[in-house]
Amino acid sequence: MTDGTQGKWNRRQIMTAAAISCLATSTIACTSLSARPIISRPAMAKTFVLVHGAWHGGWCWRDVRSQLEAQGHRVFTPTLTGLAERAHLLSADIGLDAHITDITSLIDYYDLSNIVLVGHSYGGMVITGVADAMKNRIDEIFYLDAALPDHGETMITQGPERSPAAIEQTRTALEAFAPDGIGMAAFPPDFLGIPKGHPGYDWVARKLTPHPLKTWLDPIQLTNGGPQGMTRHYIHCTEPALPNSSFPYHAEQVQADPSWTYHALATGHDAMVTAPNELVAILTG
């Protein structure tokens, strides 16, 4: 050859050889040139969408997310509008539909399918609406000590039947927590089952933000049966059970229904903080 390249490889030849080498070394890694390592995912890797409850944000799943990702799963922990790092968006107009749309939009934007959908506490209202709208995208649904509404119910009417007077009393109490008519003040972590002295107590206390009142008063609209017909799980946090909640009622109901899988978790309401190891074992079991 007359161009001085005899015995040398040009850039295209080098890149081609590197690519062949990558293919020959399975899916563990190829670090030659500028290529990023390719990390293999386990054959049973899943896509999790974890939806927090009232006053919380995506931050509360920190320990659960890290464990799931360490196992090779894909994990999304969105924060609902008006809370945590999105608290600046808090307004009187934020209702239940806005929070349902937060999650359906995430699923659409990232083209997610075969999802394991998890909702904690008030998040049960949200995932019920998501399941109704996107049933074909979801493989399994987990209610973690969560609301389980029927069509037309609100956060304060779902659960055991109560008189109109009792429901109105609850509504009045909630409005007292939101004197501006916009955001309900957060309860302390010990009310949520995180005892004082727990390593996560101060962390949670710093992170909690007011929750949009309207989301608790809006009735859910279900046109496709919500989670009916799906693989459904209910996880009840029993030690201690959250006082004055509908969750023990839902736990009792699903135990009598063979279409559900029931799990009891011996920890307080914020299980993602107080028992992340045990919760991950249930979610991946």
- Just list the catalytic residues: 121
> Helix or strand or coil: residue 11?
helix
- Do 264 and 236 touch, CB atoms closer than 8 A? yes
Angle, vertex CA 281, rays to CA 279 and CA 282, nearest 5: 65
What is the DSSP code string of 60-77? GGHHHHHHHHHTT-EEE-
- Going by DSSP bridges, is the β-strand pair 138-144/231-237 parallel, antiparallel, or unpaired? parallel
Amino acid identity of residue 236, one-letter, is: H
DSSP letter for 21, please: H
Give the up-direction half-sphere exposure of residue 8: CA atoms within 13 A in the CB hemisphere: 8
Buried b (16+ CB within 10 A) or exposed e, 37-68: eeeeeeeeebbbbbbbbbbbbbbbbbbbbebb
Cis, bond preceding 179 (omega within 30 deg of 0): no
